[in-house]
Amino acid sequence: MQKIELSVHEFMTIMGSMDETYGGRMKAADESVYAHWYTQWKAMDERLESLGLMERADMLFDGKVAINALSEAHFQELLKSVRAQVKYHGQLIADGDEDGDEEELNMWEERLAELQAMHNSAGWQNQG
């Protein structure tokens, strides 16, 4: 099994997006990746909130979240969420939105390519 590593920024963005989609933990299916990662997400959020601005920025972009066990369904949810980030950031740029950021789009595109390549390999599977 290859370990999946996300930056703290990626993890927080993915979970924040899922939180909006589901409308909170109580509305999400217990078997969703969102439900499985919820406790870790909330703990990470509290930790980030307790940090100063520079420490928070360092943790968001230099910190890593390791995911050691992921079912096929959860991997598909992760891929779907990353695809949505690529689409969202691409649309911001296409619309000329001031929040559009090529570097952010490139980061999500690279993450998607890495995850898709990992998923296409035989070594990622660990039905955790």
Strand partners, 126: 70
* pLDDT computed for residue 28 by the predictor: 79
Judged by DSSP in three states, 50 sits in coil
Residue 121 tokens, joined: 């390999």
Percent residues over pLDDT 90 in the chain: 65
Q: What is the pTM of this model?
A: 0.86
* pLDDT confidence of residue 88: 95
Please choose, from the candidates 37, 89, 91, the residue with its C-alpha nearest in 3D space to the C-alpha of residue 68. 37
The confidence score (pLDDT) of residue 128 equals 44
pLDDT in tens, 37-85: 999 999 999 999 999 999 999 999 999 999 877 889 899 999 999 999 9
- Per-residue pLDDT at 70: 82
Is the confidence at residue 125, as pLDDT, over 70?
Answer: no
